[in-house]
Structure 1
């Protein structure tokens, strides 16, 4: 449990450093990018080991049909990640497509995992994404949507999301969590 919580804190605080301590982050300059990358990587490793090591009890038992809802939401989440950097329709309409993708990802996993470790991990990431959105909106109240985009980029984001979902599903299967059936 402790590793999971430490990983979540390391991930969250390193990502929010620019918002919660802007002067300190500015003083770090280019070193700050490396520090955030290292802290994020260590946070992910701690979250993975903490999640897998925590033999927590069940809070609820999700219905079998939720797996299909999870897969649809995961496809949407991955598309939001892809769309965030490609000036797609979604990126031009929604201010925070990547953070929205994290929220959709977290909700999808909470629908199919009713154990404490999942609630802490996915609930923690959900809270982080919501806080990050609030901090960004506070610091940068004016948003200028990106311009441009094309049908090709839209198709690329959709096809990419389907391929990435397949790869993620395959990796989950190798780890013992088959998500597709």
Structure 2
């Protein structure tokens, strides 16, 4: 569980930098054109730690998930992926949500906490929920806003991409987590 907690903590530290304009600007100045790719590479380490930590964590139940938990997860994770799609494109929805990726993490986390009551889930989804709320709080407090550039048609594209990513990740979920999203029995 230490690996999982470490991964979540590193993820939060890496990404909270983006909600602090002065820290982000300093990194951008220091790294120059390597800021984007460098941040992407550095962001992969916490994700690897999270996946490895999750897969190696023992199942220790803290609470029984409610009967409606799985359905809530399907809906909230779909909303999370719609937020991801909105984050990826420069439409009016991105301006309206202001922090679509952080909102997506909130929906993803809450959804998974509705369906999972074990210690590893509390560390992962609870930790990511705390990170996303901190990101939103810091972002709003510091007046962070997305680029004002709005591109025609990007709202529609963002929704289509969000739904497509939801479908793709539902198929890849067992690969990363060892847990199938849906199990079909005959």
User: What TM-score bracket applies, with the shorter chain setting the length?
Assistant: 0.7 to 0.9
Pick aligned residue for 2:104 from 83, 87, 101: 101
- Are residue 163 (structure 1) and residue 171 (structure 2) matched? no
Specify the alignment match of 1:25 in structure 2.
27
Distance 1:17 1:154, change over 3 A: closer
Which moves more between the two structures, 7-16 or 34-43? 34-43
| Cα-to-partner distance string for 1:30-85 (whole Å, 9 max, x where unaligned) | 35555533332111111111111110411112134321221111111101111123
Specify the alignment match of 2:53 in structure 1.
50
**1:1-181 equivalent positions in 2, closer than 5 A:** 1-17=1-17, 19=20, 22=23, 25=27, 28-30=30-32, 33=36, 35-139=38-142, 141=143, 143=145, 146=148, 148-150=150-152, 152-174=153-175, 176-180=178-182
Query: Which one scores higher on RCO, CA 8 angstroms, separation ≥ 6?
Result: 2
- Contact kept in structure 2, 1:110 and 1:119, CA below 8 Å: yes
Write the distance in 2 (CA, Å) between the matches of 1:172 and 1:142: 32
| Cα-to-partner distance string for 1:94-123 (whole Å, 9 max, x where unaligned) | 221111011101111111111010110111
Distance 1:153 1:53, change over 3 A: same
Unaligned runs of 5+ in 2: none
SS in structure 2 of the partner of residue 87 of structure 1: coil
SS in structure 1 of the partner of residue 58 of structure 2: coil
Write the distance in 2 (CA, Å) between the matches of 1:89 and 1:33: 23
- Contact kept in structure 1, 2:86 and 2:94, CA below 8 Å: yes
Write the distance in 2 (CA, Å) between the matches of 1:53 and 1:83: 33
